[in-house]
Amino acid sequence: MCAAATTLTLGLGAWTTVAAQKVNDLPGGPAVNQLNFAPPVTRIAEEQHWLHWFMMALCAVIFVIVFGVMFYSILKHRKSVGHKSQVLAEPIWVELGWTIVPLLIVIGMALPATKVLVAQKDTTNSDLTIKATGMQWKWGYDYIKGEGEGIAFLSTLDNAHREMSNSGKPEAIDNYLLKVDNPLVVPVGKKIRIITTANDVIHAWMVPAFGVKQDAIPGFVRDTWFRAEKTGDFYGQCAELCGKEHAYMPIHVKVVTAEQYSAWVGEQQKAMAALADDPSRVWTVTDLAKRGESVYAANCVACHQANGKGAGPIKPLDGSAVVTAGDHGAFINIMLNGAAGGAMPAWKQLSDTELAAVMTYAKNNWSNQTNQIVQPADVVAARK
């Protein structure tokens, strides 16, 4: 966790020294010149802090004793002051001593460490279960058990922060590269079980203030848990090197009161009901392209740019033969399954309407004025 906390701190050092002097500590996130762990807000994190300092103190005592005896022996028994080497028999108590004492030390270290490790993996009796799916490069959250069951959304780096990073001259703001469009919201004082997985490469869900770091591995399911003891905003990042956009995969957890959480759940359920699209609905080009603009801004603009020109190895959408083709099959296949060995990720997690909307937007934006439309039913058919 110490290395993870340092990673978060260093991750905010992308601006000049003058600008960095204007940045303040981020409550729930990294601090300026941070050296220690993040302030804990869970019992597990507190135990980790205690364990860290206990081990540090124990190692320091052993270091002082061992090197103290060694240097004392070197100074007091050196040949230059008249001492001569002797061959001594090794009494049994010496043999027992250097076996038993290290064993007792290891046991003294293992007992509290095991207690903490076992507690970290005890995900039973959780009040809320949330699946966190890592994907290049964002998090998908699905509330699968407890209050809010059925809520699902993607959490992506705020596009304004990405643009600041691309400019090379970011503003001196406390939450640089940590602001997301949709934070994970949980109630205070409740046991939250986090199930992690991934749909492309290995990611890791990490929030230092919670004492939580769990790998998200494609094809596997892992879990961890936390119980936040105070409200507020808490930040983390993907802690695995998951690709070129690794630095743009933040985690933001908003811990609220039980009443505020219930109100948030109600709002989300209403919003989901309003956006529940019938895939058999027939759209107009104008309406679907307008819907696709927001989908593009949330998911595609980071790589393909606002002008659709792409950058470096990222192919442009503006003027693309695949995008403008009258046969939508190749375009839909790329959106569903990805391309270029994963450089273009698969977007199966988007709904049929969202996929149809963003493709229609690409076909009718920039110089691609094709007046073509991809209906949600086309995507439904391609998924089969």
pLDDT in tens, 60-96: 999 999 999 999 988 888 878 878 777 777 788 888 8
Cβ neighbours of residue 62 closer than 8 Å, sequence gap 6 or more: 105
Residue carrying structure tokens 């997301």? 180
Q: DSSP string spanning 139-172? A: EEEEEEESTTTT-EEEE-B-HHHHHHHHHT----
Q: What pLDDT was estimated at residue 341? A: 80
Q: In the predicted model, is pLDDT for residue 348 greater than 50? A: yes
pLDDT band of residue 273 (cuts 50, 70, 90) is: confident
Bridge partners (DSSP) of residue 215 are: 204
Per-residue pLDDT tens for 212-258? 999 999 999 999 999 999 999 999 999 999 988 899 999 999 999 99
Rounded CA gap, 130 and 141, in Å? Answer: 7
Per-residue pLDDT tens for 14-31? 433 434 458 899 999 998
DSSP H helical ranges for the chain: 2-11, 17-20, 43-76, 92-121, 159-167, 258-275, 285-299, 301-304, 321-324, 329-337, 352-363, 376-383
Q: In the predicted model, is pLDDT for residue 342 greater than 60? A: yes
Q: What pLDDT was estimated at residue 256? A: 97
Average pLDDT over residues 306-310: 90
Rounded CA gap, 238 and 214, in Å? Answer: 10
Q: In the predicted model, is pLDDT for residue 190 greater than 80? A: yes
Percentage with pLDDT > 90 across the chain: 64
Rounded CA gap, 62 and 54, in Å? Answer: 12
Q: What pLDDT was estimated at residue 21? A: 54
